[in-house]
Structure 1
Amino acid sequence: MTVIQYVLAIFILLFITVFLQFIFKRPGKKPAGYCPPPSPPTLPLIGHLHLLTPVAFKGFHALNNKYGPLLYLRLATYPAVLVSSAPLATEIFKALDIHFTSRIKSPFEDNLLFGSSTSFFNAPYGDYWKFMKKICTTELLGTRQMKKLKNVRREEVVRFLSKMLEIGQKNEVANVSAEVLTLANNSTCRMIMSARCSGEDNQAEKCRELVSESFDLAAKLALFSVFGPLKRIGIWYLRKKIADVPKRYDELFENVLVEHEEKAKREGPHMENKDLMDILLEVYHDKNAEIRITRKQMKTFFLDLFFGGSSTTAHSMQWLMAEMINHPEVFKKLREEMDSVVGRDRLVEDSDIPSLHYLQAVVKETLRLHPPAPIITRLSREDCKFGGFDVPRGTLAVVNAHSVMRDPEVWDKPDEFYPERFLLAIPKEEADEKTGRKGQDLNFWSFGGGRRRCPGVNLAFSLINATVAAMVQCFDWKLDGAEYMARVNMEATPGVTMSLAHPLLCLPVVHCNPFDTPAKDNQATD
């Protein structure tokens, strides 16, 4: 079947599928006084799909600018409400958090991983999700584990800097996008399985390759799934690839789990230097555990962390460096802070970060303009009132963080890169009593909010702060082949993620070398 024939067949099947749903699945009668959110003009069969654009968050942003901050959309078979203002986001993440604690079931989960009900991030709000969340906060991100992760992060940042020094001394161009992704991947893999993602015949490298393949398949499955029954057609068309991926995942992670179990037997109960797999295996073998987790759940949890922990952090660092290159006055001011607080005779350390106030402001401002997850979804568990309107059970809430973080009612000059906004003095009476967040931070939803807020926020901030601080301390960054004052192309990739569409290629010009030599054993490059 040619590509044209395939596309034509898909459109014909799509039309038939949605038409039959339109005929036989009419919406039920609404109760008296029912008041739904306003809705743009719709088309038969497809609803509002014709209003979407390749870069999803920008398309949603245009819709909200035209029709308002709260809209009802019908995305083929999915009823949804689109949220784009900071007050509405605050309402959904705080006042109505308990009503929106579930997430829509992902086609990726059922068909590319290990079956339904195994993913922590997409699990329904219930005992399993609460138990895994507690494990995350008390064990995986506890004091002892965070101390170990601090050493891992330091080693990987040093390794990254050593490679940049080598490239800079050779007057070569670095693919900053690829290098920070490698840094984030290595840090995440070492946290999960004590192995880096680089090198040949490495299990972590196999994991990275599988993740890349899975993202491609998941995007295709998501397109089919929007149209309900058409999902089965997509699964049939992609059946060979779908059958292969979970098998490879299972073999890979089973081997890693067995290796960790054998190590635990050798070293005994007082084993040191435990990674995430070691901790979860202890829970798995604990017969008195509050909830008995399965091996499939552990494997999916590792993938959840890899998906959510590496690429989003790397993308944030890319956007941050791009913004500083486009705003040299910000880079200069941050460099001055680095020289003042840290100096040039040693490498910046984690203990310096609390004193680097402008660095923290630059990171926050980058995440405000370029949130790691620009589209945040929640599923209503029951009927509720939201924004003064009726939202029925089973409605998908789509929070456009891209719009929320640029709400002109909250953010002054919302489209400008202005880190100083996070340094303004905030009166104590404006602090949130429960969280202690003040002023602009009250409306900072780049990582979501409420019970389902990303549990790895502090890890992400730690890696971004440490890496960017070192990059500014050690190098000047010049765009490849660009003239003076050239600007980075800030175009975003199509889809629902927030990443640069074009790789960031720069010449790292050494500003200071905090190492005695760039080739120490513990700083060896890949």
Structure 2
Amino acid sequence: MLGHVKYYGHHHLFDILILFCFAALALVWFRRSTKRSTFVPPLPPGPRGFPLVGYLLFLISPNHLLEFSSLAKIYGPIFKFWMGTKLFVVITSPQLVGQVVREQDTVFANRVQSTCTLIATHGGNDIAFASYGPKWKKLRKIFAHQISTTSVLDKLYWLRKEEVRKSVKYLYEKIDSPVDIGSLAYQTSTNSMMRMTIGASIEGDDTDIDVDQFRKMTEDLMALVGKTNISDVFPALKWFDIQGIERDSREITRVFEVMFDNAMSKRKKARSSTRKDFLQFLMELHLDQDSKTPITMSEIKALLMDILLGATDTTTSSVEWAMAEIFKHPKVLMEIQSELKQVVGLNNHVEESHLSKLTYLNAVFKETLRLHPPGPFLLPRSPSKSSIVGGYTIPKGSTIFLNVWSIQRDPSIWENPLEFIPERFRRDEIQGSSINYNFSGNNFNYLPFGSGRRMCAGVSLGETMVMLILASFLHCFDWKLPIGSELELSHKLGFVVKKKNPLKAIPTPRFSDLELYTA
């Protein structure tokens, strides 16, 4: 009897042991299957940086282009780095760019708002830096319908035409003397934009500064926008404003505000005009109590800042780079002037109606933007929720750079990528290729103006302005470099990539009828 009991006890313990093993195995399987079902991809690879500050010490200087391009060769087409507690991701692949701007465009439609941009845009009340949502959609719609449509641009052509003719006259007065191409392009584009938006020019009563001061002010503000701000990386240090970025941003923005206030004050006194500019339309929209799209004074000022900063700086850079590349390649200049002679005719000024027929000059413009995109990383994006790109997790609130600079110089995409070859943008027309390199943002190998919802809103205006200035300068004059000078193409790296040394050249009239220059 006792033996039977002992046997039964051992048997019972054996059963319990087996059940326990099965339960343990089931628990392990359940945990593994649960882990598989909730698996979160890792963050992209990248440099470790230093404790606490991360990669900040490497990016405190403006050499982002060189640094990001080098890191992409080490870590691949998508990599991360930390600056303090902030995560940054750089994407250098057309395929991965497509995942951001096309497949997940809404998720990545927010902008990164820095201390400087919030000051310059009156709290993010603009198109460039406003968070994606109803307010941004309203402002974008207003801009699209009232400043960048073909009909509006056509109505305001006479303003652009006057400013370009003034510059042609100025060049004629400077015959056989070196002219700063970038400075003249800036004055031409800025006066055109100011007259179209606020009905005034730099030399008008609304400003107390000259062209050079105004240009320095806009360049300084753009430099502040692109500068790594320690206060943004370490929010706890915001109140110290260690680099003085907040202070400098407020000082520059204040000058613009005075100019806008003066212009708006004039609008209130004279509300009717046969030729409405953008500001007058915005003021009427603001004063209309029954408007379906009400707009605040802060939004008006922020929109004006977008136009003056975004359009003028990039236009100036594009004109200067194009002229530099043209001077470096005499055959390109000969081809351009031959086309101008055929389309426009000698002893005739260039009109905007000619621009669509200047296919070779347009190819030169596109090739300039490929090699020298004004915004090498476009404006940084920030996902509204955690997402997956290229098999890696991109956390909500990260800063995303799209490295257009490297993509447009990638030898796996472009033949002889470092050479200036405008013909590459004409092959499609000649050979009937299906590849289309336009500014629509649909070809992720070529994105000088971005893509998706947040692509540049003023593409058509910018293209028109650059083409008109280039065509007029090259049709009206022959050019040569000053004796002893050497043409170089080194970059001044920053938020907008500019020519390191100003381009200076000497104009010589091409028209036989010299009265065309002074009329």
Shorter-chain TM-score bucket reads: 0.7 to 0.9
Query: Displacement of 1:261 after TM fit?
Result: 2.1
C-alpha offsets along residues 389-423 of structure 1, whole Å, 9 cap, x if unaligned?
A: 22111111101111121122322221111111111
Q: Structure 1 residues 437, 108: CA separation in 2 closer, same or farther (over 3 Å shift)?
A: closer
What is the one-letter code of the residue matched to 2:517? P
The aligned runs of 1:385-404 (5 Å cut-off) are: 385-404=388-407
Q: Verify: 1:33 aligned to 2:35, yes or no.
A: no
Query: Displacement of 1:111 after TM fit?
Result: 3.9
3-state secondary structure, aligned to 2:110 = coil
The aligned runs of 1:69-148 (5 Å cut-off) are: 69-111=77-119, 114=122, 116-148=123-155
In 2: Cα distance, 1:453 partner to 1:415 partner: 25
Query: Displacement of 1:337 after TM fit?
Result: 1.6
Count of residue correspondences: 477
3-state secondary structure, aligned to 1:477 = strand
Do the aligned partners of 2:428 and 2:434 also contact (CA within 8 Å) in 1?
no
Q: Verify: 1:381 aligned to 2:384, yes or no.
A: yes
Q: Structure 1 residues 396, 199: CA separation in 2 closer, same or farther (over 3 Å shift)?
A: same
Q: Percent identity?
A: 29
Identify which range, 203-212 or 191-200, moves more after superposition: 203-212
Aligned to 2:415: 412
Do the aligned partners of 2:226 and 2:495 also contact (CA within 8 Å) in 1?
no
3-state secondary structure, aligned to 1:154 = helix
C-alpha offsets along residues 146-196 of structure 1, whole Å, 9 cap, x if unaligned?
A: 11232222111111111111111xx21111111111111111111111111
What is the one-letter code of the residue matched to 1:421? R
Q: Which has the larger radius of gyration?
A: 2
Aligned to 2:434: 430
In 2: Cα distance, 1:214 partner to 1:92 partner: 28
Aligned to 1:182: 187
Identify which range, 399-408 or 234-243, moves more after superposition: 234-243
Do the aligned partners of 1:431 and 1:437 also contact (CA within 8 Å) in 2?
no
The aligned runs of 1:256-405 (5 Å cut-off) are: 256-264=263-271, 267=272, 271-376=273-378, 377-405=380-408
In 1: Cα distance, 2:251 partner to 2:502 partner: 30
In 2: Cα distance, 1:350 partner to 1:385 partner: 45
C-alpha offsets along residues 274-320 of structure 1, whole Å, 9 cap, x if unaligned?
A: 11101111221222333422111111211111110101111100000
Query: Displacement of 1:242 after TM fit?
Result: 5.8
With the length of structure 2 as denominator, give the TM-score of the two structures: 0.84
Aligned to 1:9: none
In 2: Cα distance, 1:496 partner to 1:202 partner: 26
Query: Displacement of 1:118 after TM fit?
Result: 2.2
In 1: Cα distance, 2:289 partner to 2:269 partner: 19
Q: Structure 1 residues 513, 136: CA separation in 2 closer, same or farther (over 3 Å shift)?
A: farther
What is the one-letter code of the residue matched to 2:331? E
Q: Structure 1 residues 308, 63: CA separation in 2 closer, same or farther (over 3 Å shift)?
A: same
3-state secondary structure, aligned to 1:40 = coil
Query: Displacement of 1:359 after TM fit?
Result: 0.7
Do the aligned partners of 2:206 and 2:262 also contact (CA within 8 Å) in 1?
no
Query: Displacement of 1:78 after TM fit?
Result: 1.9
Query: Displacement of 1:126 after TM fit?
Result: 0.6
The aligned runs of 1:227-266 (5 Å cut-off) are: 227-234=234-241, 244-264=251-271
The aligned runs of 1:480-519 (5 Å cut-off) are: 480-482=482-484, 486=486, 488-512=487-511, 516-519=515-518
In 1: Cα distance, 2:102 partner to 2:410 partner: 18
Query: Displacement of 1:41 after TM fit?
Result: 3.7
In 1: Cα distance, 2:256 partner to 2:347 partner: 45
In 2: Cα distance, 1:298 partner to 1:399 partner: 29
Do the aligned partners of 1:221 and 1:231 also contact (CA within 8 Å) in 2?
no
Q: Structure 1 residues 478, 182: CA separation in 2 closer, same or farther (over 3 Å shift)?
A: same
Do the aligned partners of 1:75 and 1:226 also contact (CA within 8 Å) in 2?
yes
Identify which range, 321-330 or 202-211, moves more after superposition: 202-211
Aligned to 2:31: none
What is the one-letter code of the residue matched to 1:183? T
In 2: Cα distance, 1:417 partner to 1:186 partner: 30
Identify which range, 460-469 or 145-154, moves more after superposition: 145-154
In 2: Cα distance, 1:196 partner to 1:64 partner: 44
Aligned to 1:47: 54
Do the aligned partners of 1:474 and 1:513 also contact (CA within 8 Å) in 2?
no
Query: Displacement of 1:441 after TM fit?
Result: 5.2
3-state secondary structure, aligned to 2:480 = strand
What is the one-letter code of the residue matched to 2:445? N
What is the one-letter code of the residue matched to 2:363? A
Do the aligned partners of 2:42 and 2:393 also contact (CA within 8 Å) in 1?
yes
What is the one-letter code of the residue matched to 2:179? A
In 2: Cα distance, 1:440 partner to 1:135 partner: 24
Root mean square deviation, CA, Å: 2.8
In 2: Cα distance, 1:121 partner to 1:149 partner: 23
In 2: Cα distance, 1:428 partner to 1:67 partner: 38
In 1: Cα distance, 2:182 partner to 2:345 partner: 27
C-alpha offsets along residues 475-522 of structure 1, whole Å, 9 cap, x if unaligned?
A: 222222237xx5x221111322210111111111222356525333xx
The aligned runs of 1:440-459 (5 Å cut-off) are: 443-459=445-461
Identify which range, 228-237 or 349-358, moves more after superposition: 228-237
Aligned to 1:167: 174
In 1: Cα distance, 2:81 partner to 2:228 partner: 21
3-state secondary structure, aligned to 1:425 = helix
